[in-house]
């Protein structure tokens, strides 16, 4: 069990590093030419402009963290101590009681199954926990405006993608939207000064004068339905995981792994909602 927990600890660190690198790469300044307007900004928190979506994503992230902890905990319950040098799965013990003996290959298979289960759970936990940490640490972000598009860090949005845009002067926010097939928020910019906001709005009116709309303060009914369905699906998966938590078995670990993947898919629905 000790070796499996060491693998889990390394997987947790790898998950943290993976999430950190993913956000850092997105926030590195792109190398572009013909920059018309440029500033450095601290990205506005999602709760600042999309409270409903932010709460939904937070609930989803908590569900992934809970399932990851359940998976690692369930693997640990097969041993008398987290620091025990022996690890045997429930099926391994059943085979020993049924056959009277278990060969070395069966024990190695038990170790691989436990290590994979604990490693997947710990890696997912680390990746989820890394995002709120790196979002605060990887600042500021360079925003560059060109004749071809806008670059927020290394993420570029071309003018052909922008179907509409809106301004919120009170909170100094700029929202860029695409129609695919419904209005989708591409990016939110948070200029550091009123001068930067004014310069951006003048440039937007020059590039897309017919696309300006008022800032959407409400939430569309169809978006409410998508968020509700995604959250209900996530809640159902968490309830199933809690009901299975008293059972210590490899198939429960498999179910936890599938549920983590399923919640990840539901997270994509949340991101697109």
Count of CA atoms in the C-beta half-sphere (13 A) of 137: 10
pLDDT in tens, 81-137: 667 666 666 666 656 666 565 556 666 766 777 788 888 888 888 888 887 777 666
pLDDT band of residue 151 (cuts 50, 70, 90) is very high
- DSSP-derived secondary structure letter, 40: E
Give the mean pLDDT of the chain: 80
> Which residue would you say has higher pLDDT here, 50 or 259?
259
- The 3-state DSSP class for residue 145 equals strand
- The 3-state DSSP class for residue 248 equals coil
Which alpha helices (H) appear in the chain, and where do they start and end?
Answer: 2-27, 46-49, 51-76, 90-99, 104-137, 194-207, 221-244, 250-272
What Å distances lie between residue 121 and 8, 11, 22, 171, 243, CA to CA?
8, 8, 19, 39, 18
Count of CA atoms in the C-beta half-sphere (13 A) of 50: 20
> Which residue would you say has higher pLDDT here, 82 or 197?
197
pLDDT band of residue 144 (cuts 50, 70, 90) is very high
Taking the C-alpha atoms of residue 23 and residue 132, their distance in angstroms, rounded to an integer, is 10
- For the cut 70, the answer to whether the pLDDT of residue 218 exceeds it is no
**What would the mean pLDDT of 183-190 be, rounded to a whole number?**
82
pLDDT of 175 reads 87
pTM value is 0.72
- For the cut 60, the answer to whether the pLDDT of residue 226 exceeds it is yes
- The 3-state DSSP class for residue 178 equals strand
């Amino acid at each position: 069990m000790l070796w499996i927990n060491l693998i889990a600890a390394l997987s947790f660190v790898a998950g943290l590093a993976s999430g950190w690198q993913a956000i850092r790469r997105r926030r590195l300044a792109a190398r572009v030419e013909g920059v018309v307007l440029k500033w450095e900004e601290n990205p506005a928190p999602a709760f600042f402009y999309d409270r409903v979506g932010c709460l939904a994503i937070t609930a989803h992230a908590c569900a992934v963290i809970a399932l990851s902890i359940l998976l690692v905990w369930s693997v640990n319950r097969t041993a008398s101590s987290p620091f025990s040098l022996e690890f045997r799965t429930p099926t391994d013990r059943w085979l020993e009681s049924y056959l009277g003996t278990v060969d070395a290959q069966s024990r190695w298979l038990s170790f691989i199954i436990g290590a994979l289960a604990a490693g997947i759970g710990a890696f997912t936990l680390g990746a989820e926990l890394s995002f709120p940490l790196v979002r605060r640490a990887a600042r500021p972000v360079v925003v560059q405006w060109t004749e071809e598009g806008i670059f927020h860090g290394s993420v570029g949005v071309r003018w052909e993608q922008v179907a509409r845009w809106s301004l919120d002067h009170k909170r100094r926010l700029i929202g860029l939207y695409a129609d695919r097939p419904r209005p989708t928020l591409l990016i939110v910019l948070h200029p550091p000064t009123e001068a930067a906001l004014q310069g951006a709005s003048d440039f937007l009116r020059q590039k897309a004068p017919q696309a300006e709309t008022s800032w959407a303060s409400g939430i569309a009914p169809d978006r409410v339905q998508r968020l509700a369905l995604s959250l209900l699906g996530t809640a159902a998966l968490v309830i199933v995981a809690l009901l299975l938590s008293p059972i210590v078995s490899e198939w429960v670990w498999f179910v936890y792994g599938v549920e983590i993947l399923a919640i990840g898919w539901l997270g994509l629905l949340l991101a697109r909602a």
